[in-house]
Homo-oligomer: A and B are copies of this chain.
């Protein structure tokens, strides 16, 4: 269990239940298949990173209506006694195939497919979109920050501005999967084992009569893990005060870890602060910084010769400010013996159960993805991205550890050409539909 609490079966849109009641009354128990995919790229994004599967499997395995759930549904007067009895015994007994967490994927590619009796498959819609969607959105943004940082450290500072504590946990986990080194979110540290990071706020500095008194007090408590916030009054004077206390610490055999900037021109200030630290004999003291960083501000800093060693990335990561949502949908693609297309204007989707084949060169670099039919012969030099994760309601895979997923992300990103990772929108990674799947669309 990697959250505070599961959402449970009532985290759905009502229509999933009213449709289920309709199917139940009509005795429709046939199998259906649904695809979860993203219809288009947000403005500057060109890839996504699959995240959230662990939570999905946990929810699905434990999808059981409690007595109070049934009592509430009964109180709405929307459901018959016989349907409520059916819900009391409801379990998910179907199959799920999914890309492993940490897999790079692209628009129109199913990141997950469900095949199950229609009521069950439909039932997962809201939870799947919510869980996979947000976490994949954040993991993708974190990967963009990682690319922009060119090896500098990244720490999730977003807890306060995320859209709830639950969202904050998902941001800490998703950004860590993509290569962040830690989080300020203590609850995420406890629940996921992510390294936690953080030292002092401006209020700490202002609680003392002078800035240097605040630094000395903090050093007394944290002789070997102090980072001083130096911009409360004047950043350069703050750096000088930090150096004074660092010297006092050195005399006691202690070591200042670094300083933090939180306002002003970060390129200019970081260079001046670096010089102050270096000249005072603290070349190993790090410069941390926070204040409105995202992939663009990080890239600007790096390209302009700034000297920040690690960025605290907060608000704009935590709400995915450039793209707080994307068009992720869950669509029925097969029912009984028919492949299903939806034809509403602008909302067409690929019928039939599918597989995503990733073609690579001999070094493993990604060449092209092919969206094919589930059971078609894979193209040469390709591997299949959707893997069975649940069969007949039973989990088929162990929960991957965060380190394992981090390695998977790192391998995936290293195999994706830089041109698709650039922040400015460039060409799209080639994704085509197989000839076989195309024929199915035109049947």
A118-140 vs B, Cβ < 8 Å mask (1 yes, 0 no):
10001001110110011000000
Q: Which of B18, B28, B169, B197 contacts A222 (CB 8 A)?
A: B18
Task: Give the distance in Å from the alpha carbon of A78 to the alpha carbon of B19 in the complex.
Answer: 53
Are B324 and A187 neighbours in the complex by a CB distance under 8 Å?
no
* A347 proximal to B (CB < 8 A): yes
- Given A164-B163, A196-B14, A319-B324: A220 and B19 interface contact (C-beta under 8 Å): no
Enumerate chain B residues within 8 angstroms of A68, measured Cβ to Cβ.
Answer: 190
Interface segment among A144-152, A198-206, A356-364: the answer is A198-206
Most buried by B among A196, A218, A262: A196
> A76-120: which residues lie under 8 A (CB-CB) from chain B?
76, 78, 118
Q: Which of B10, B21, B125, B200 contacts A18 (CB 8 A)?
A: B200
Closest Cβ–Cβ distance, residue A351 to chain B (whole Å) = 10
Are A15 and B221 neighbours in the complex by a CB distance under 8 Å?
no
> A14-73: which residues lie under 8 A (CB-CB) from chain B?
14-19, 21-23, 25-26, 28, 32, 34, 68-69, 72-73
* A165 proximal to B (CB < 8 A): yes
- Given A186-B17, A262-B344: A165 and B7 interface contact (C-beta under 8 Å): yes
Closest Cβ–Cβ distance, residue A22 to chain B (whole Å) = 5
Are A202 and B344 neighbours in the complex by a CB distance under 8 Å?
yes
Q: Which of B14, B161, B196 contacts A130 (CB 8 A)?
A: B161
Task: Give the distance in Å from the alpha carbon of A129 to the alpha carbon of B186 in the complex.
Answer: 16
Closest Cβ–Cβ distance, residue A185 to chain B (whole Å) = 7
Enumerate chain B residues within 8 angstroms of A335, measured Cβ to Cβ.
Answer: 206-207
Q: Which of B13, B17, B170, B198 contacts A163 (CB 8 A)?
A: B170
* A263 proximal to B (CB < 8 A): yes
Q: Which of B161, B163, B343 contacts A232 (CB 8 A)?
A: B343
Task: Give the distance in Å from the alpha carbon of A157 to the alpha carbon of B19 in the complex.
Answer: 16
Task: Give the distance in Å from the alpha carbon of A21 to the alpha carbon of B221 in the complex.
Answer: 7
Closest Cβ–Cβ distance, residue A182 to chain B (whole Å) = 9
Task: Give the distance in Å from the alpha carbon of A373 to the alpha carbon of B127 in the complex.
Answer: 47
Are B168 and A167 neighbours in the complex by a CB distance under 8 Å?
no
Q: Which of B217, B220, B231 contacts A344 (CB 8 A)?
A: B231
* A304 proximal to B (CB < 8 A): no
Are B332 and A190 neighbours in the complex by a CB distance under 8 Å?
no
Task: Give the distance in Å from the alpha carbon of A78 to the alpha carbon of B190 in the complex.
Answer: 14
Interface size on A, residues (CB 8 A): 98
Q: Which of B76, B186, B343 contacts A13 (CB 8 A)?
A: B186
CB nearest neighbor in B for A126:
B160
A298-330 vs B, Cβ < 8 Å mask (1 yes, 0 no):
000000000000000001101111001100100
Enumerate chain B residues within 8 angstroms of A4, measured Cβ to Cβ.
Answer: 4-5, 7-8
* A278 proximal to B (CB < 8 A): no
Enumerate chain B residues within 8 angstroms of A316, measured Cβ to Cβ.
Answer: 325
Enumerate chain B residues within 8 angstroms of A133, measured Cβ to Cβ.
Answer: 160-161
Task: Give the distance in Å from the alpha carbon of A262 to the alpha carbon of B340 in the complex.
Answer: 18
* A331 proximal to B (CB < 8 A): yes
Closest Cβ–Cβ distance, residue A139 to chain B (whole Å) = 13
Are B19 and A201 neighbours in the complex by a CB distance under 8 Å?
yes
Enumerate chain B residues within 8 angstroms of A19, measured Cβ to Cβ.
Answer: 199-201, 203-204
- Given A164-B167, A170-B164, A200-B19: A184 and B343 interface contact (C-beta under 8 Å): no
Are A161 and B129 neighbours in the complex by a CB distance under 8 Å?
yes
Are A346 and B263 neighbours in the complex by a CB distance under 8 Å?
yes
Closest Cβ–Cβ distance, residue A83 to chain B (whole Å) = 9
Closest Cβ–Cβ distance, residue A17 to chain B (whole Å) = 7
Given A10-B189, A320-B324, 9 new contacts (CB under 8 A): A10-B186, A14-B185, A14-B189, A26-B217, A78-B225, A122-B203, A133-B160, A203-B331, A319-B319
6 intermolecular pairs with C-beta atoms under 8 Å apart: A7-B165, A14-B189, A18-B221, A21-B221, A129-B161, A130-B168
